[in-house]
Amino acid sequence: MDCDKCGNPAVMHAAYSGLHLCEKHFCRSVEKRVRRRIREDALLSPDATPDDPETWVVGLSGGKDSVVLTHILHETFAKDPRVELLALTIHEGIEGYRDESVDACLDLVEALDLRHELVTYEEEFGLRMDDVAESDPLGMAPCAYCGVFRRDVLSRYATEFDADKLLTGHNLDDEAQTALMNVLEGDVAQVAKHFDASLGSFEERAEVEELVPRAKPLRDVPEKEVALYAHLKDLPAHITECPHASEAYRGEIQRLLLDLEENHPGTRHSIMAGYEELAGIAAERYRRGDGPEMRECERCGGATTRSLCRKCQLVEAVDAA
């Protein structure tokens, strides 16, 4: 098939739009969607100036999503004095797998001449995910531990680096899965939290003083298109599934969405369009209520609604195992 824009050979067909695109127009389309999301979410504050720029910390794992996001952000803002980018990589202690993805991170930041920081679970918590997955003191999937640890490290270091925004590489599939899981679980409070945490525009969110605001500029781009972009741009992405990946429920949702998308192209986009609007309504309602009061964790001093934050509870359980 030929590209609908220029007539050159197409490298992909987007069933949800009907478009066939060549390499040039496909890559331009991905970049355009990321930049449009940045504008629509008002990611760059009007108060940012060359003398007082914003610091954006990018969670860079070395996987395709974070590598593509970092690449496009650099292409967009490298010459913009209002934005300073900092890539943050976390080594969870997964032998082989994470070592290779860290190498991908190092190749990328060297090519982009980007400031880069590397931290490890072993330094932060005195543990490695290989050991946690083996001992599993609470009978949970490894992802349940790792997700809590990762969010904690990202948030703490974003604060330490005095970041104005924390950016992650969640794609359209990731966000549609989360949306559907929240709806199927009937978790309206989580839907509202999702809006203020990362889904809504910065002009519409309620500010959470204890946390660096998050954003997901890649969330309009399907996963397969992210992978294709990384391939066509020859980016140093480590495209291999984590050996401990075992989120059974999310896996079911992922398969369901892929089937729906194949039979009804555009399903993921439709889910997110409706979900974002409903999340905004839920957020307004829950902001008026008396939610749990944030306080300091007795162990680490982090923000929590309990005496011990979830991260410290998990570290305590692992240490006791």
264 is in an annotated binding site: no
The CA radius of gyration of the chain, in Å to the nearest whole number, is: 20
Specify whether the CB–CB gap between 99 and 68 falls below 8 A: no
164 annotated to bind ligand: no
Q: Is 155 annotated as a binding residue?
A: no
**Close Cβ partners of 113 (under 8 Å, ≥ 6 residues apart):** none
Residue 60 is labelled as binding a ligand: yes
CB 58 within 8 A of CB 70: yes
Q: Give the pair of three-digit tokens for residue 178.
A: 């989360």
CA distance 103 to 94: 14
Q: Closest Cα partner for 92 from 259, 245, 264?
A: 245
| 52 in a labelled binding site | no
Is 174 annotated to bind a ligand? Reply is: yes
Residue 27 annotated as lining a ligand binding site: no
- Residue 312 counted as an annotated binding residue: yes
Establish whether 290 is an annotated binding residue.
no
Establish whether 61 is an annotated binding residue: yes
199 belongs to an annotated ligand binding site? no
Q: Which long-range contacts (CB under 8 A, 24 or more apart) does 189-196 make?
A: 189/282, 189/286, 191/275, 191/278, 191/279, 191/282, 192/279, 192/282, 192/283, 192/285, 192/286, 192/287, 193/283, 193/286, 194/279, 195/276, 195/279, 195/280, 195/282, 195/283, 196/283, 196/287
DSSP 127-192: --HHHHHHH-TT---HHHHHHHHHHHHHHHHHHHTT-SEEE----HHHHHHHHHHHHHTT-HHHHH
Q: Residue 317 has which token pair? A: 């359980």
Tokens in use for 201?
A: 């525009």
118 is in an annotated binding site: no
* 297 labelled ligand-binding: yes
Is 271 labelled as part of a ligand binding site? no
- 57 CB-near residues (< 8 Å, 6+ apart): 86, 87, 88, 154, 157, 158, 161, 163, 165, 166, 167, 212
Residue ranges of the binding site:
3, 6, 22, 25, 59-61, 65, 90, 169, 174, 297, 300, 309, 312
Residue ranges of the binding site for Zn(2+):
3, 6, 22, 25, 297, 300, 309, 312
Residue ranges of the binding site for ATP:
59-61, 65, 90, 169, 174
